[in-house]
């Protein structure tokens, strides 16, 4: 089932007032695939990611996740609920972690499955502890997030998103807010998601080492469009577009 | 002269600031005592009547607590409406806040107590399909009218406090809850409101203390002698004995005492809810944990 499409983005446009940030993006992500999205700030890469789970409402175009297809444009009450159903299939990890400071680490991870009644409390808690173990933070379950380092917080955020057993994980610059010595622990957890769980992932990042190692495909965003797309070897070693080359020269 | 002044300043520098402030307070009370004495302030009368006036604290507090409970409920509903994208909820809340902030509390009390009952009677006479007893339904007793007026009035002001509390919760929190597929109710109950309440508790305490003093306005609705609150009781006994000075000073002292007590309690509560969030507190806890885990005297050096 390697060819099963988990995320299908079709003719996506997004404007903020008069400013058009995304100007027609088409992208398919297959099950188990890791797509790294990169490009200059303001190129629309984060916005596309945030449109996939309707944190931003697309102005036009459509998004399909796990067979749920939704058009952009105005929200009706019915669509509001459909968006929520779609989100249950999508995990998201934010640049600023966004852990809930009023809850313990364990409660952060169990909160959403409890809200969605995904099994008994004991099952949910067991799964949450397994996930915390997977990200190497089983001993921090009873702590509050403020007592963790940035890298630890981001790993909890990954466990929190995984707890919903999503079909795809979105990472929006997951290491950009971290001190350099803490990015490694987050990237290595992300790598195990791909190698061990075969998780489908869309990752906005400038970590080219991670991209080279983990990505199946890379998409370079420029002025609201996918400017160039290919395998990491193609894009990093021999980009065809001058904009891609200029950007890579700047970050490598 | 100049030298003496300088010596005085140097001597003064050695006296703690708080002690000087205390001396100022003692001075103020001394002046007040002197004036009171000159005005033939009757302390014996106060001693005889203070018990009765303090007895009103029960009703004062009943009205204040009832009022703040209603105000918190109204403020919560109002704030949720003011932060929602629902035009009906937003509109109703906007009208509510505008009206109750735009008219005097005393007018609202009289509207509820005196102006509303005829509305009930007339509506019941006009529309016979209304349930039986509707003509009496808007007839409130004084305490209830006072509680409702205070609750609605303070609720309007507190709507703005709660709204800013909700808006103070970082936008990323709501996004994270949305991304996890939580419903609006789940997001508010589990993520946003618990964080907003922390911000809102101190100003709510201030509102409660302010309301405690505004309960005195209820006496203008004509409280019965048996259930009179502090101000009304002072008025009753003061007028009867021609001891207005003593009576109102006693009432003022009772309100002041209550305020001091609740300000103290509020400060303790604030300290408590700050725990777990307060970075200094967390840092101290982490330092303590580290010291416990390491051999004393710094094993790394040896």
- Global confidence as pTM: 0.81
Task: Choose the mutation target among A51, A57, A85, A100 for the interface with B, i.e. most B CBs under 10 Å.
Answer: A100
pLDDT for residue B289 is more than 80: no
Q: Say whether A115 and B182 touch across the interface (CB within 8 A).
A: yes
Q: From the list B172, B179, B282, which residue is nearest A146 (CB)?
A: B282
pLDDT for residue B294 is more than 70: no
Q: What is the mean pLDDT of chain B?
A: 88
pLDDT for residue B283 is more than 80: no
What are residue A203's DSSP bridge partners? A36, A171
Q: What is the mean pLDDT of chain A?
A: 95
Indicate the SS3 state at residue B118.
helix
Q: From the list B179, B180, B282, which residue is nearest A147 (CB)?
A: B282
Biggest distance spanned by C-alpha atoms of chain B: 95
- Average pLDDT of span B220-242: 86
Find the range with the poorest average confidence among A1-5, A10-14, A43-47, A146-150: A1-5
B276 → chain A, closest CA residue: A144
Dihedral class, residue B241 (left if φ above 0, else alpha if ψ from -120 to 50, else beta) = alpha
Residue A170 · residue A7 · CB < 8 Å: no
N- to C-terminal Cα separation, chain B: 65
CA distance B175 to A63: 19
Q: Say whether A100 and B178 touch across the interface (CB within 8 A).
A: no
Token output for A79? 């669509």
Q: Say whether B173 and A55 touch across the interface (CB within 8 A).
A: no
pLDDT in tens, B76-128: 999 999 999 899 999 999 999 999 999 999 999 999 999 888 888 888 888 88
Q: Say whether A160 and B178 touch across the interface (CB within 8 A).
A: no
CA distance B134 to B116: 12
CA distance A72 to A82: 12
Residue B270 · residue B201 · CB < 8 Å: yes
CA distance B292 to A200: 43
Q: Say whether B181 and A98 touch across the interface (CB within 8 A).
A: no
Dihedral class, residue B94 (left if φ above 0, else alpha if ψ from -120 to 50, else beta) = alpha
Q: Which residue has the tokens 């018990």?
A: B51
């Amino acid at each position: 089932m390697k060819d099963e499409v988990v995320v299908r983005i079709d003719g996506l446009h997004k404007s903020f007032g008069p400013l058009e940030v995304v100007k027609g993006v088409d992208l398919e992500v297959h099950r188990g695939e890791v797509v790294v999205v990169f490009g200059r700030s303001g190129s629309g890469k984060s916005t596309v990611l945030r449109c996939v789970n309707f944190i931003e409402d697309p102005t036009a175009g459509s998004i399909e996740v796990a067979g749920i297809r939704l058009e952009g444009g105005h929200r009706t009450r019915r669509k509001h609920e459909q968006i929520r159903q779609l989100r249950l299939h999508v995990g998201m990890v934010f640049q600023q972690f966004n852990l809930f400071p009023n809850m313990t680490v364990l409660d952060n991870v169990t909160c959403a499955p409890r809200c969605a009644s995904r099994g008994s409390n004991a099952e949910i808690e067991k799964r949450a502890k397994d996930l915390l173990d997977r990200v190497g933070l089983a001993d921090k379950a009873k702590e509050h997030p403020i007592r963790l380092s940035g890298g630890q917080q981001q790993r909890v955020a990954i466990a929190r998103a995984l707890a919903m057993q999503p079909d795809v994980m979105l990472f929006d610059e997951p290491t950009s807010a971290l001190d350099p010595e803490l990015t490694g622990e987050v990237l290595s957890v992300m790598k195990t998601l791909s190698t061990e769980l075969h998780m489908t992932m869309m990752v906005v990042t400038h970590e080219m080492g991670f991209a080279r190692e983990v990505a199946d495909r890379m998409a370079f965003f420029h002025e609201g469009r996918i400017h160039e797309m290919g395998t990491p070897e193609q894009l990093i070693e021999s980009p065809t577009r001058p904009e891609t080359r200029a950007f890579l020269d700047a970050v490598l | 002269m100049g030298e003496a002044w300088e010596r005085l300043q140097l001597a003064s520098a050695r006296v703690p600031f708080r002690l000087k402030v205390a001396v100022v307070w003692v001075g103020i009370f001394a002046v007040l005592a002197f004036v009171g004495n000159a005005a033939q302030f009757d302390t014996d009368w106060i001693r005889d009547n203070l018990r009765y006036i303090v007895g009103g604290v029960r009703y004062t507090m009943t009205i204040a607590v009832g009022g703040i409970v209603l105000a918190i409920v109204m403020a919560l509903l109002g704030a949720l409406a003011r932060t929602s994208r629902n035009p009906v909820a937003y509109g109703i809340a906007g009208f509510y806040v505008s009206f109750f902030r735009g008219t005097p509390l005393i007018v609202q009390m009289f509207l509820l107590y005196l102006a509303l009952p005829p509305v009930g009677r007339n509506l019941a006479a006009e529309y016979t399909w209304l349930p039986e007893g509707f003509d009496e339904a808007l007839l409130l007793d004084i305490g209830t009218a006072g509680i409702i007026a205070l609750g609605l009035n303070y609720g309007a002001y507190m709507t703005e406090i709660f709204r800013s509390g909700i808006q103070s919760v970082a936008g990323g929190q709501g996004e994270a809850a949305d991304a996890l597929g939580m419903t609006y109710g789940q997001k508010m109950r589990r993520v946003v409101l618990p964080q907003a309440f922390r911000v809102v508790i101190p100003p709510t305490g201030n509102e409660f203390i302010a309301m405690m003093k505004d309960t005195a306005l209820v006496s203008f609705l004509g409280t019965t002698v048996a259930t009179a609150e502090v101000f009304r009781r002072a008025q009753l006994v003061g007028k009867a004995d021609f001891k207005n000075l003593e009576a109102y000073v006693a009432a003022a002292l009772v309100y002041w005492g209550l305020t001091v007590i609740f300000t103290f309690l509020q400060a303790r509560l604030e300290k408590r809810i700050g725990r777990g969030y307060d970075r200094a507190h967390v840092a101290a806890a982490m330092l303590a944990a580290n010291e416990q885990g390491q051999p004393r005297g710094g094993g790394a050096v040896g």
